[in-house]
Chains A and B, each alone.
Chain A
Amino acid sequence: MEKLIFDQLQEELYHEKMDNGLDVYILPKKGFNKTFATFTTKYGSIDNHFLPLDKDEYVKVPDGIAHFLEHKMFEKEDGDVFQQFSRQGASANAFTSFTRTAYLFSSTSEVEKNLETLIDFVQDPYFTKETVDKEKGIIGQEITMYDDNPDWRLYYGLIENMYKNHPVKIDIAGTIESISHITKDMLYECYHTFYHPSNMLLFIVGPVDTEAIMNQVRDNQNKKTYNEQPEVKRKFEDEPSEVAQSHRQLKMNVQTPKCLVGIKTGNATQSGEEMLKKELSLNIMLDILFGKSSENYSFLYGEGLIDDTFSYDYSQEQGFGFAMIGGDTIDPDRLADELRTMLLKGRENGSIAADSLERAKKKKIGSFMRAVNSPEYIANQFTRYSFNGMNLFDIVPTLENLQLADIEQAANELIAEDRFSVCQVVPK
């Protein structure tokens, strides 16, 4: 077991790689009632074209299967895992993103039992034709719920605009049609390919006895037999650097229009420190350009073009990355134009003042401290960072070292006319 100490934050992190390849991290949090654990596989909605375990031909699986699999993991021969968690005083949940599927629980008592339940249920799939068919109705209602949600449609509409081939453009839950093709055999094939311990990470944060918990996980894993498995082979078609579509307007049952401007990164191949520096630089840039203390924000708010739903963010994973800026607006065309002009101006060297950089860095450092109040943030984000070869706790030192030139370079690389795209939701 290795120990990492973060002096300034007064946190300690423990790590061990199990013999079967599973990475286990424990972060003790004194004074907290709750223990929070996530068990995550590096498998999400984009992993739809891959070489199944022990096969020699690539397969393409139906849209939404990773999410479907997540739902089905909770059902076992002897009933529902939710029941067992609540008997042990825990609340359990799961989520599927573009690149990850995470199973989690939080509890303030019987932590060892709950941890055992979490590991065991994720490592013991049970699918039958009947339970798979039954789930189609439930997930069908989940899909319909999102169909009625204008913010959801706006977000996915913009991603669909930006990407021509990359599967990030596919809705995580799939469609009612696509999930109708899912069978139990497909679920098993995906499961065996992606749920090997060497493709997974277990993170535990809370008031725990670090050594006892690590021993427990080690014993649990040693009892199970896993063959050594090579890294999963995935296939992605080439993605052009320009956007697939520069504009899309969705007509929906809304009163207030919505507008999001996206910029697709021309290069999403970075990982590790390089990726961390890029993500932080771009988020700092957006903060300087559009934060509440910026001139742009005052102007847009003063003109009535934005309200409290306005937001901005840059995020990247292996193979795709984008900035998104916007929110509800009375004039979606004018907002799109203004944002585009502001971004292009922000790319010009010399447009960012040194004191605004220092302020934005302080702001980010403070908000990171606020974030690490949250066990959920630590576990989820640490896992995401780790899957991309980054360390969550490098955020503050990396921020402190950022220079104006870094921000300018990142802005220069990102912002280009042919990588802009706009998605709007307008009243029918």
Chain B
Amino acid sequence: MNVIEETVKLYDGFKLHMIKTDKFKTNTLVWKMKAPLQKETVTVRSLLPHVLQSNSADHPTTAKLRSYLDELYGAALYVDLAKKGEYHVITISLDIANEKFLSDQTPLLKKAFELLAEIVTKPNVSDNGFDQTTVNKEKRTLKQRIQSVNDDKMRYANYRLVQEMCKEEPYALHVHGELEAVDQITPETLYSYYQQALEKDELDLYVIGDVDEEEVQSYASELFQFQNRDPQKTEANGRSHKGDSVHEVKEVQDVKQGKLNIGYRTNIVYGDEDYFALQVFNGIFGGFSHSKLFLNVREKASLAYYVGSRLESHKGLMMVMSGIENNKFDQATGIIEEQLQAMKNGDFSEKEIGQTKAVIKNQLLETMDTARGVVEVLFHNIISRKEVSLTEWLNGMDQVSKEQIIAAAKKVELDTVYFLHGKEEGE
């Protein structure tokens, strides 16, 4: 077993995380900016990384910046946005070949650091605003990105469930922001928000690869200079309680397959004592292809091709999703409810527990075989402000008992049932 550990260094305004490993052919730099998820800022934050990755002061057009990336052996520059609990996280990552596997000995890591720093700290700005043309183009693309959720019915159903279920909570916001808010953004307001974000966001830089830690520290301290800050925190209020009745929403659209998405409150978040038990519970219930949902909804009743459950660990939610025939709503929800009841009643074997622990452990170790996976696992600790090492994770999982799983299952409450279906439902 090869469990990766990180070395963390504190600098003014940001944390540097170094993960040294020689198993990859590339080195990966990941820059994260984390702030509370809020209606007022969600859209402007969603636009930001896309404008930043378009060009920079030294490479003022996309064609110039992209040619330079190609020149650096196709260094891969990606941006991404995520909701983690009630936080909105911007990620900018740069993955670059390690020159030890090339005949050309250009110092690629150094160039990658310089380029990432350029993108973050030297954007293409004039008169206190980002480049107007870039902002306009990216506003247009952002609108298309927001709209695209409507064209992928699986994503749409998932989004609608969260919207209905978390109506009064920031978590209901779309990760890419709100269509109506895009037009109001100007190059100046975007730039002034960016300056504020650089002052206030929680900032983390991850470096993964076969790198020299001293070299990395010298690049980090020279190229990334910020003011100290006390990052804003939000409460993980996924525990917030709903009323007694179950919220049921049915929506008709021109679709052939019905999409059934069900939301539960788990009342347990990452870092809680019973979080590992919740993980095992979810695995037995619907997390894997040996789970109760897979066996009973798919294999026994032939109702679905896909059916499963997943946790939103930082928000305390569990989502069940399945694609079924339009007229199988009652049958499917009935079977799903029975399986949850079976979990609460302790109707599962030591064999299922063992199987599930083995698969979860496997999944976690496999995640460590990709640079981005390593970052995502380690970043859980930034979100939760808990220090859970990978070894603790693995041990914690091993020690979960049947009683603890039942106790976790009993905390799980049905909240909202969402069904997107075609016109023939109920015939």
Contacts and interface: CB of A to CB of B under 8 A. Distances in A.
Contact of A82 (B151, B289, B306): B289
A138 B304 contact: yes
A210 B359 CA distance: 25
Given A141-B304, A373-B24, A256 B74 contact: no
Contact of B305 (A139, A149, A365): A139
Nearest to B3: A33
Interface in B291-335: 294-295, 298-299, 302-306, 323-325
A32 B21 CA distance: 10
21 contacts: A8-B102, A29-B23, A31-B2, A31-B23, A32-B369, A83-B290, A86-B289, A89-B359, A108-B366, A137-B302, A141-B325, A150-B151, A256-B151, A297-B63, A304-B140, A307-B145, A362-B73, A363-B70, A369-B97, A373-B371, A374-B370
Given A295-B63, A307-B141, A134 B302 contact: yes
B47 to A, nearest CB: 13
Contact of B152 (A135, A149, A308, A360): A149
A367 interface: yes
Interface in B249-264: 253-257
Nearest to B301: A137
Contact of B150 (A87, A147, A254, A360): A254
Nearest to A330: B144
A338 B170 CA distance: 42
B410 interface: no
B256 A144 contact: yes
Nearest to A29: B23
B171 interface: no
Contact size range, A: 35 or more
Contact of B362 (A109, A294, A362): A109
Given A291-B66, A360-B70, A365-B102, 11 more contacts: A32-B2, A33-B1, A89-B359, A109-B358, A138-B304, A148-B256, A297-B62, A302-B137, A362-B71, A365-B73, A369-B101
Nearest to B371: A373
Given A307-B141, A308-B141, A362 B70 contact: yes
Contact size range, B: 35 or more
Nearest to A80: B299
A141 B299 CA distance: 12
A370 interface: yes
Interface in B219-254: 253-254
Interface of B: 1-2, 21-26, 61-63, 66-67, 69-76, 95-98, 101-103, 133, 137, 140-141, 144-145, 147-148, 150-154, 253-257, 288-290, 294-295, 298-299, 302-306, 323-325, 351, 354-356, 358-359, 361-363, 365-366, 368-371
Contacts of A109: 358, 361-362
Interface in A353-382: 359-360, 362-367, 369-370, 372-375
Contacts of A255: 147, 150-151
A107 B365 CA distance: 9
A83 to B, nearest CB: 5
Contact of A370 (B26, B141, B152): B26
B315 to A, nearest CB: 25
A398 B193 CA distance: 48
Contacts of B66: 291-293
A139 B298 CA distance: 10
Contacts of B137: 301-302, 304
Nearest to B104: A362
B76 A370 contact: yes
A34 interface: yes
A297 B256 CA distance: 36
A148 B255 contact: yes
Contacts of A295: 63
A141 B145 contact: no
Contacts of B369: 32-34, 375
Nearest to A362: B73
B305 A142 contact: yes
Q: Is the interface of A mostly helix, strand, loop or mixed?
A: mixed
Contacts of B101: 8-10, 369
Contacts of A291: 66, 70
A88 interface: yes
Nearest to B76: A370
Interface centre among A142, A207, A369 (most CB of B within 10 A): A369
Interface string A223-259: 0000000000000000000000000000001111000
Contacts of B299: 80, 138
Interface centre among A34, A148, A328 (most CB of B within 10 A): A148
**Nearest 3 A-B pairs (CB), nearest first?**
A366-B73, A137-B302, A31-B23
A366 B96 CA distance: 7
Given A33-B368, A293-B67, A293-B70, A148 B153 contact: yes
B71 A292 contact: no
Contacts of A129: none
B107 to A, nearest CB: 15
B288 A86 contact: yes
Contacts of A298: 61-63
A147 B23 contact: no
A255 B152 CA distance: 10
B23 A86 contact: no
A90 interface: yes
A296 to B, nearest CB: 10
Contact of A33 (B2, B72, B354): B2
Contacts of B69: 293, 363
A107 B362 contact: yes
A90 B305 contact: no
Interface in A31-56: 31-34
Nearest to A294: B63
B200 to A, nearest CB: 28
Contacts of B323: 141, 144-145
A134 B295 CA distance: 13
A183 interface: no
A369 B74 CA distance: 10
A145 B305 contact: yes
B61 A138 contact: no
